[in-house]
Amino acid sequence: LIMVAAVFSWGLFSVLLRRQAVPLPALAFLTTQILLGTLVILPFYLVDLWFFKGGFELSQDTALPLLYFAIFPGILAYAFWNHGVQTIGPTRSAIFMYLTPVFASVLATIFLGESLGLFHVTGGLLILAGLLLATRTGRRAKTPAAANAQNTTGDNDA
């Protein structure tokens, strides 16, 4: 149920991002998003910290991963997503989310020493082929009804 709510809110955010003109510069808008997100999640973190003794200890071992997660999936990913949605719209941007497992597989191979299997390569190629088909531009075949309507209006390409 939480995942359904998350997917719904992400979709709503993406659609509203494109439809509503944001009167802020991109960096200010991103900062506002991060601050609001922090305020929303802060009560849950505090409950976990106080009642369940959760949280983490900031040390030399945890500082670098925390910095990595703050910069790459935290700041840059949202900045690129916002730019993409504002540039090409939420529908066309959404199809690029299918690249997540491709990048996860490649990065796991590079940084974690995971082995890349045939199913990874096959899946990656299918994803790339799907993205190519979904994003290619060009003339689409006319349906008979559309061709007939064009002929009756006198608009002919020839």
How does residue 157 score in pLDDT terms, banded at 50, 70 and 90?
very low
Cβ count near 32 (within 10 Å): 12
Q: In the prediction, which pLDDT does 155 show?
A: 44
Q: In the prediction, which pLDDT does 58 show?
A: 78
Q: In the prediction, which pLDDT does 145 show?
A: 59
Determine the average pLDDT of the residues in 20-38: 81
Q: What is the tens place of the pLDDT at every residue in 58-102?
A: 788 888 888 888 888 888 888 888 888 888 888 888 888 888 899
101 Cβ neighbours under 8 A, 6+ residues apart: 123, 124, 127
117 Cβ neighbours under 8 A, 6+ residues apart: none
Write down the H helix ranges in 20-59: 26-51
Q: Please state, in angstroms and as integers, the Cα–Cα distance from residue 48 to each residue in 51, 55, 74, 123, following that order.
A: 6, 7, 21, 38
Q: Which of 37-41, 95-99, 110-114, 151-155 has the lowest mean pLDDT?
A: 151-155
Place of tokens 């209006």: 153
Q: Where is 76: in which H helix or E strand?
A: none
Q: Name the DSSP class of 70.
A: I
Q: What is the tens place of the pLDDT at every residue in 109-137?
A: 998 899 999 999 999 999 999 988 888 87
Does residue 1 carry a pLDDT above 60?
yes
Considering only residues 122 and 107, tell me which one the structure prediction assigns the higher pLDDT: 122
Q: Across the chain, what does the average pLDDT equal?
A: 81
